[in-house]
Amino acid sequence: MNFELTEEQIAVQQAARDFAQTELLPEVIERDTHQKFPAAQIKKMGELGFMGMMVDPKYSGGGMDTISYVLAMEEISKVDASASVVMSVNNSLVCWGIETFGTEEQKEKYLKPMAAGQIHGAFCLSEPEAGSDATSQRTTAEDKGDYYLLNGTKNWITNGSTASVYIVIAQTDADKRHKGINALIVEKGMPGFVVGKKEDKMGIRGSDTHSLMFTDVKVPKANRIGADGFGFTFAMTTLNGGRIGIAAQALGIASGAYELALSYAKERKAFNKKLSEHQAIQFKLAEMATKIDAARLLLWQAAYLKDEKKDFVKAASMAKLFASQIAQEVTTEAVQIHGGYGYVKEYHVERLMRDAKITQIYEGTTEIQKMVISRELLK
């Protein structure tokens, strides 16, 4: 096994690190405080190729491997998880889903501008009564011949107000249960499509999370992804890859907090010596670093399997499960090492601790990951 990164992967990692430090860091606290979407920064991320990293160049993407993608995600997430979740949804869910299962017409119309960073997308699965239980879709897509009539509500949608392209999962035939679900591409501005209120969140406050309402929205049949009834399989398959992105986000949040804590421990003095000279702090740092490395190896394994077109379902769930857990643990310890300073916004770690929690919830909760892993083990 070779754990060395290629020159191209190192270059991607460095470019993401430089962008995060120069473009995202300066106003990240202000964006968090005021729930301000990083519009200018997302535009630059698109120009740099971070919004369609794994998409084939013929569709305006970067044609990179999944390892490069998770390296970039980690660096962006160290500084601003609100920006990285926009990047993750666009790359892992929307672009990947359309490129893998969409028609050529859909790829030309929707994938190209998203991969080029000109617009970005949203993935609409969760509902008021359908979170972890994704089979209980109340949003309906009634077959009207050459179009579907879409009605319903979606909740907790990342990029809810800023996206231009929305993949909406809806029930067409309730009698068929999950086999009667379809995935439809909905455009912003379609009559009857309304963006609801923005959620006031504990973390990732810079990302725009909204509820969406659909009232008699006419969606052309040409906008259906895959065959009739493929929607549930599409959603679950796409989420498997999305979990790699969220694991990378969790890893980035953890490693960002660790780096801040390590730096602080080397500078701050207590009882006439630096914090880093106290064994209690040394042990905390040792555990943090070990957990981060373990999470990174799980993540890279999942990314490698995906690139090799091998079964990565269990690996992706393991990576997300563990990375999200250590994100919570490491950020909490980072605040503890900072002491009182860790509890104020200026030192960043309190924000990272708040951001970490969502990684245990979206794109499959911790409990769902355990179900997926155990199911794969017992096959």
| Contact call for residues 101 and 23 (beta carbons, < 8 A) | no
**Which residue(s) pair with 89 in the sheet?**
none
The DSSP bridge pattern shows strands 165-171 and 181-187 to be: antiparallel
363 has catalytic annotation: yes
Q: Where in the chain does DSSP place strands (E)?
A: 121-124, 140-143, 147-158, 165-171, 181-187, 193-198, 209-220, 269-270, 273-274
Instruction: Give the residue from 248, 362, 232 showing the smallest Cα distance to 316.
Output: 248
Backbone angles phi, psi at 126, to 5 degrees: -65, 145
| Cβ-Cβ contacts under 8 Å for 2 (sequence gap 6 or more) | none
- Active-site residue, from 74, 75, 333, 363: 363
Q: 3-class DSSP state for residue 137?
A: coil
Integer Cα distance of 172 and 178 in angstroms: 10
One-letter amino acid of 310: K
Q: How far from 304 is each of 2, 17, 42, 211, CA to CA, in Å? A: 11, 22, 27, 35
Residue 23, amino acid: E
Q: What residues are labeled active site? A: 363
